[in-house]
Structure 1
Amino acid sequence: MIARLDRGFLVGFALALLFVTSAAFVHLAARPRLEKVREEELLYYPSGFMVRQATLGYETAAADVAWLRGIQYYGEHRLSDQKFEMIGHVMDIVTELDPRFVQPYVFGAFVLAQEMKRPERGLELLQRGLRANPSDWKIAFEIGFLHYVCRHDAASAAHYFTLASRMPGHEEYVERFAAFANQRAGNTGMAILLWKHVLATGNKYMQEVAQRELRRLGAI
């Protein structure tokens, strides 16, 4: 109990100090350049370097606090002006503090790509996540999804869907996406291999889908 109280006190004190310092900086130096951003929002989003220096070794706990504030920020703007200009910055801070925290990469990329129409920025965040978590299928899958939906790049989507399908713990639908994307990209051999795997492991409906696609590919 004492250790948990000490940890909470230190993190709270560090973040409070950080926010006050950031507020002073914004007020004195940056205000003319940030007219379109509410000043009170900036208090929650100092630089990643400042956050790391202030957390006193409790980066994971600070990442949790920043993540919760990021979700709150998204919710507030989702219900009001639907502008999320700071979401990329705050997700950068969260993932810098805790690079193994997967959800901020995925959520941040979704908002950036789908709601802000900035797929390249979303892909940049996900690629950084994949470098930090090279065996996480969710990140690889989301990269493939953004390539397919936002960039209409079937070849890149096929690459990342296939990569995700080779990672441990992936959901069964990953093979279906990989097979379909490879088929669309003209990677017939890989598509056949993946559809055969779906045929061998999927439920009745997916077996029927796999059989249909394999017939189209002349594999059965």
Structure 2
Amino acid sequence: MIRGKFTRSDGTLLLTVLIGLFGVYSLSRWIDTHRPSANPSIEEEELYLNATTVKRLSLGFNGLAADWYWMRSLQYVGGKIIKLPAHVQLDHLGQLNLKLLAPLLDATTTLDPQFMEPYQYAAVVLPDLNVQEAIRIVKKGVTANPLEWRPYHHLGFIYWQQRDFAKAEEAYEQGAKVPGAPEWMRAMTGRMASEGGSRNTAREIYQRLYEEATDNQVRNMARKRLLQVNSMDEQNALRRLLAADKSRTGRCPESWREIEVLLRALPVRVDSSGAPLDPGGTPYQLVKDKCDVNLGEKSEVPLR
């Protein structure tokens, strides 16, 4: 049997790999021992290791360090959300003390500027906490990824949320010029200019966000926002129907059964009791004395 010789170059390569692994292990241990206290009664510390320092310590293993920071970002938010009521949405977390989220996402994207998920997370979660930081981080993604259209989509989403339709239009217009950008990016440019505040625009944006999301929390948020937009249209149609019935009878209906014939004219599902169902499948509540309609208590459609 002929055995390969262990050359000096092999030894150098092996030593480099071992030093790199030891560096990553040491970095992980250092970070773990310097993390902020998990005690919610203690005010959170500043970010315990910034991106510049991590880059210096990671010995070229920036991708691994970026993954670590990304997971910390998700755990950080998840640990706060778990204490909130179920109806609170990912894009409305301003009530929480999430002051470390922006630095965590900034560190992640500094270590790995081509890592797309943190930019989307910044666009969805950060605006309700610190919109300027959200814009800064996503713009960093635009600069670092000139051949990617998605950061432009995220930037347009932020401006649209802020009702700055002119800047949203500009972001989508620039993104539409990137090779490989989908046609709907160009269509979104015109929509921002003509009907930026409409429900149809909201429906389109959340649909695209849902389709592009890789993070389950972001995807679920977009799904629930789509339910909300569709429910708004349905509630308006039901209110018009209730008003028309009152004009005919002189009173508000006591039950959905009284207007079941009229309900057939609407594109809504009904249950066995005759109650119309919201997009999530929960019956709408009839407000009898006001000829109005509300979401059911168990509905998964967000209230805000």
Check whether TM > 0.5: yes
Provide Cα deviations, 1:152-205, integer angstroms capped at 9, x if missing partner: 2221111111111121333343233112113358xxxxxxxxxxxxxxxxxxxx
Higher helix share: 1
Q: CA deviation at 1:50?
A: 2.1
Return the letter of the residue paired with 1:170: A
Letter in 2 for 1:182: A
* Distance in structure 2 (CA, Å) of the matches to 1:108 and 1:8: 30
Matched, 1:147 2:173: no
> Could you tell me whether the CA contact under 8 Å between 1:19 and 1:46 is conserved in 2?
no
Instruction: State the secondary structure of the residue aligned to 1:51.
Output: helix
Q: Gaps spanning 5+ residues in structure 1: where?
A: 28-33, 186-220
Deviations 1:100-136 (A, max 9, x none): 212212212321114x2x2222111111111111221
So what's the TM-score if we normalise by structure 2?
0.49
Shift of 1:54: 1.6
Output the TM-score relative to the length of structure 1. 0.66
User: Could you tell me how far apart the structure 2 residues matched to 1:14 and 1:108 are?
Assistant: 25
Deviations 1:6-62 (A, max 9, x none): 455431222213444x46xx89xxxxxx9521x6xx6x7412222122211211111
What is the number of equivalent residue pairs in this alignment? 168
Change (3 A) 1:149 1:128: same
| Residue 26 (structure 2) aligns with | 13
2:51–2:106: 8 Å Cα contact kept in structure 1? Answer: yes
Residue of structure 1 aligned with 2:54, choices 15, 32, 51: 51
Partners of 2:79 and 2:181 lie apart in 1 by 33
Q: Which has the larger radius of gyration?
A: 2
AA partner of residue 56 (structure 2): Q
For the aligned residue pairs, the C-alpha RMSD in angstroms reads: 2.9
Letter in 2 for 1:88: A
Of 31, 36, 45, the match for 2:43 = 36
CA shift, 1:137, in A, is 0.8
What's the % identity of the aligned pairs?
23
Matched, 1:68 2:79: no
Q: Is the 8 A contact 1:137 1:165 kept in 2?
A: yes
Does structure 1 residue 182 correspond to structure 2 residue 187? no
Aligned counterparts of 1:113 and 1:154: Cα–Cα separation in 2: 16
Could you tell me which residue of structure 2 aligns to residue 105 of structure 1?
A: 119
Give the 3-state SS of the residue equivalent to 1:183 in structure 2.
helix
Q: Name the CA distance, whole Å, in 1 between partners of 2:117 and 2:48.
A: 18
Report the equivalent of 1:200.
none
Distance 1:50 1:18 in 2: 11
Give the whole-Å Cα distance in 1 for the aligned partners of 2:48 and 2:180: 34
| Cross-structure match for 2:206 | none
Q: Distance in 2 between matches of 1:8 and 1:76?
A: 30
- Alignment check: 8 A CA contact 1:138 1:164 kept: yes
Q: Report SS of the residue matched to 2:147.
A: coil
Q: Does 1:163 align with 2:174?
A: yes
